[in-house]
A and B are shown apart, each in its own frame.
Chain A
Amino acid sequence: MAIVHEILNYFKVEINREQCKKCKRCVNHCSYGVLSFNGEKIVSDDQKCVACQRCAVMCPGNAIRIVQNESFLPPHGNYTRKIRNIIWAQSGDGGVLLAATGNDRPIRSIFDDLLLDACQVTNPSIDPLREKIETKIFFGRRPEKLTFVSDQDDLEGVSLKTKLMPNFEMDMPIMVGHMSLGSISYNACHAIYKAAKELNIVAGTGEGGLHPDFFEYAPNIITEVASGRFGVDLNYLHNAAALEIKIGQGAKPGHGGHLPGEKVSSLISQTRMIPKGSDALSPYPHHDIYSIEDLAQLIAALKEATRYKVPVGVKIAAVHNSAPIAVGIVRGGADFLTLDGFRGGTGAAPRIIRNHAGIPIELAIAAVDERLRQEGLRDQVTLIAGGSIRYSADLIKAIALGADIGMCAMPVLIAMGCRVCQQCFRGLCSWGIATQQKYLVKRLDVDIAKNRIKNLFHSWNEELKEVLGAMGIDSVESLRSNRDRLRYIGPNPHIAEILGVKHAGE
């Protein structure tokens, strides 16, 4: 039984009465029911405000400011306001608390404790505006070596005998992480896929199936086969640049996908092949994968189903034993491996898991890269790392630690207009991103959103080139796993050891 306990609201809507024209635009734009017009003036129910900023941005009079509620709880260093709110919320409804986006605990980022090297004197730096710096990479599995046969009589006759497994090229070592149609809107998906195509990178579909309208983006799409098998049919498998078996997600290791029924509109119901309005809860494990041999079988089955034309890989959440698991997966035939760190995003996850399970991606990359090398497997697979890559600095450091590709989703949402209000699971996103409500979805202009994503990644790629140039490196391939060019300045030297990175000054 729900016993609602009034919780002190975090935010307040401040309306400048002199500037307000009473046009009521804010009322229409607020999808959380905060604002209303009482016949005389705009009033706000601050308890409901999530600080999504939609009203403030849309107000023609610039009359709205969202401010923090100054009203003060008695301070306590251990029972913080957040913890008290959690207790009130749980004692109010007795359920598992949901949360969206990534882990919001202020845990120190290891990326922030890493510094990059640059050239001085003994090696000249390279100016990316004047000289070519390459960021193109291949995605897929490579053989351990190539076999060339030279013609004995004619020294200059060489013949390549090795046939490479499926591989495709990407213009930047960046991938848009998996966000399903369902967790985000049709327009948001459309913008992402268009941007991926124009940038010649790839984007993940998440486990929500692929709407037939998006088949044209197949060469830039990685589709996901998750435990719920939502939307999986032959059309789905055949419309992808690569297939990913989703075992885990950084935001919720050990959990399946979670799409609240509020977001299962008729469009979603068709694409996922489930009834409208029903919660789409993926089973926690794949019920046909209880061990590594089962995974190897599914990899083989998907390769067979796609006639060995596309890379098939596996995504796991970064957990304590990622390294040996990764080796098993690669031995099991995966062409690529996606690692998702504990800060990775989600549209909906139990708060307890999101905030407390998994390990930082920096450590997972280092451990997996190292273990795969010990087994002589590293160079044969593509290693993708995400959760959370916030900006180009994180991308660059992830590559230097050992990733081939950095995967990110939150920055893509933020580029499209997301204000990180963390309410995605409610399906009311006022920016038209994490919602299925038609009137909200149409707020997101596909082409503007696409261009913003393109600009974002273009700038990341330019910054990557700037750093490569400063390091005297002219191809991103020579940055990967080049831990020699990183130094640690954080408080815990043991982290540096695990990362295989020297301390600054060494």
Chain B
Amino acid sequence: MRWENYTSLPEQYRNQRVFDGCGISGFINIDGSRVSGDKVIDMISILKERENGLGAGFAAYGIYPKYKDYYAFHFLFDTIAAKTNTLHYLGNNGTIIASEAIPTNTPTNIDNPPIIWRAFFDPKKSNNLEPDEIILKIVMEINANINNAFVMSSGKDMGVFKGNGWSHEIADFYMISGYNAYMWLAHSRFPTNTPGWWGGAHPFNLLNCSVIHNGEITSYGTNQRYLSSYGYKCTLFTDTEVIAYLFDLLCRKHKLPLSIATMALAPPLYDEIEKLDKKDQIILKSIRATYRSAMLNGPFSIVVGYSNPVPTMIGLTDRKKLRPLVAAISDDENTIYMSSEEASFKRLTSSNNNFSMKEIWHPKSGTATIAMLGKGLVRNGLEPSLMKLKSKYEGGLVNGNCA
């Protein structure tokens, strides 16, 4: 573990985008049953080739049932003052229901460990802003303007635990085994150009959306400038930040159904669209025309945890599938797994004789795999874009070549 660079990068590395290769793993229990973090630790730590000890993290959904109606902030602080300032700022904007240190296994010989804190929060009512919108503003404010403070996560009944070290070290440090969640995401990193910093590790979170990501977004400039129109400041210089904001914009603000949002991020090729019937062409062309700047380009595979309103795990790769993603379903069909490598699943089945996968498959390039709490596998990542969707349009393109 590296006991430095908690809430920001050293000066000379700032304003540089981080490029890295990564391991990603996650699963969701469809019936909502909560299980310990052990399983996801096994899944991620076996992917050792994809990490170099410079960052790892976990997102856990369903860990705070007692406070499930409040926003759970996970913070990193460098100093006591930063903590005081942040909590003071929070207090001015709503009610802090509970505030406590997140338990960690900090080695005794470390002089300057980070302060890792959580607060359950109820924002002040506002006539013109939704509560989520207030939280978004608070997160942006703390990360941009309160020195030595960083918000790791801000969703309800969930939390992100991350830092600079090997995945097994981060798991030990946060005692991940001790949490019980119905959905787990885990990430390990291989950054190329920075020493890494705690806040810059994945998962990257905003509200109830957490993203783990392997890859590099070649459309970063386009996406970042698009988001700037909507007040998202991309200050962390990671591609993952952009992906999380795009999910937030498309799903929460524009209220696109998840399956449609994933089509905006990785749309089918025009050649494929031309083969569809007129109705589907109109829908897909409307998506491509309207969301041309939201499209993600470059090699990526991501797994996204989302819980607004229904907890969902989404896997998606770029349209050429230049980074890997595999999916699996357990024998009892209650758990859907995703990982950058099949090794994650093998690790689970080989260490437990009573457990096997019903099926392991490779989702298609640019095609979302979506697993929803209570619903199961809604999309398996193999269907053509609009297949299984009962799509209709009332509006649609006018005068487009297909209308």
Contacts and interface: CB of A to CB of B under 8 A. Distances in A.
Interface of A: 119, 121-124, 126, 131-132, 134, 136-138, 140, 142-143, 145-148, 150-151, 154-169, 309-310, 369, 373-374, 376, 378-379, 400, 402, 471-475, 477-485
Given A136-B270, A376-B229, A158 B257 contact: yes
B220 interface: yes
Nearest to B272: A132
Interface in B312-334: 319-320, 322
A168 B292 contact: no
B189 interface: no
Interface stretch (B43-51, B102-110, B281-289, B338-346): B281-289
Given A123-B216, A474-B320, A158 B392 contact: yes
Interface in B260-318: 260, 269-271, 282-283, 285-293, 295-299
B398 A309 contact: yes
Contacts of B29: none
B228 interface: yes
A150 B251 CA distance: 12
Given A164-B400, A169-B401, A309-B398, A158 B389 contact: yes
Contacts of A134: 269-270
Contacts of A471: 218
A164 B286 contact: yes
Interface residues of B, number: 63
A293 B259 CA distance: 42
Contact of B287 (A140, A146, A169): A146
Nearest to B392: A159
Closest 3 CB pairs of A and B: A163-B395, A484-B221, A478-B219
Contact of B319 (A143, A400, A474, A485): A474
A477 B375 CA distance: 35
Contacts of A158: 257, 259-260, 389-392
A161 B220 contact: no
Contact of B225 (A143, A154, A373, A474): A373
Contacts of B111: none
Given A122-B19, A159-B392, A163-B395, A473 B218 contact: yes
Given A123-B19, A143-B290, A379-B229, 6 more contacts: A137-B292, A159-B394, A160-B283, A160-B391, A162-B290, A475-B297
A474 B256 CA distance: 24
B137 interface: no
A132 B269 CA distance: 8
A3 to B, nearest CB: 58
Contacts of A148: 255-257, 260
Interface string B382-402: 000000111111111111110
A160 B219 contact: no
Contacts of A132: 269, 271
Nearest to B370: A155
Contacts of A475: 295, 297
B96 to A, nearest CB: 34
26 contacts: A123-B216, A124-B322, A132-B269, A136-B270, A143-B290, A146-B290, A148-B255, A150-B257, A156-B378, A159-B391, A162-B395, A164-B395, A166-B399, A168-B401, A373-B228, A373-B229, A378-B225, A378-B229, A379-B292, A472-B216, A473-B218, A478-B219, A480-B292, A481-B222, A481-B226, A483-B225
Contacts of B53: none
B215 to A, nearest CB: 8
A478 B398 contact: no
Contact of A124 (B270, B286, B299): B299
Contacts of B358: none
A445 to B, nearest CB: 30
B297 A167 contact: no
A134 B272 CA distance: 12
Interface in B16-71: 19-21
A157 B290 contact: no
B224 interface: yes
Given A138-B289, A309-B399, A373-B229, A146 B219 contact: no
Contacts of A165: 398
B378 A155 contact: yes
Nearest to A165: B398
Contacts of A480: 222, 292-293
A134 B293 CA distance: 14
Contacts of A151: 390
Nearest to A169: B401
B22 to A, nearest CB: 11
A156 B400 contact: no
Given A160-B286, A477-B293, A484-B221, A122 B399 contact: no
A145 B395 contact: no
B7 to A, nearest CB: 24
Q: Which of B19, B253, B285, B398 has the most CB of A within 10 A?
A: B398
Contact of A168 (B219, B222, B375, B399): B399
A131 B229 contact: no
A472 B290 contact: no
A123 B298 contact: yes
A33 B293 CA distance: 55
A376 B291 CA distance: 14
B217 to A, nearest CB: 9
Given A146-B286, A484-B221, A155 B375 contact: yes
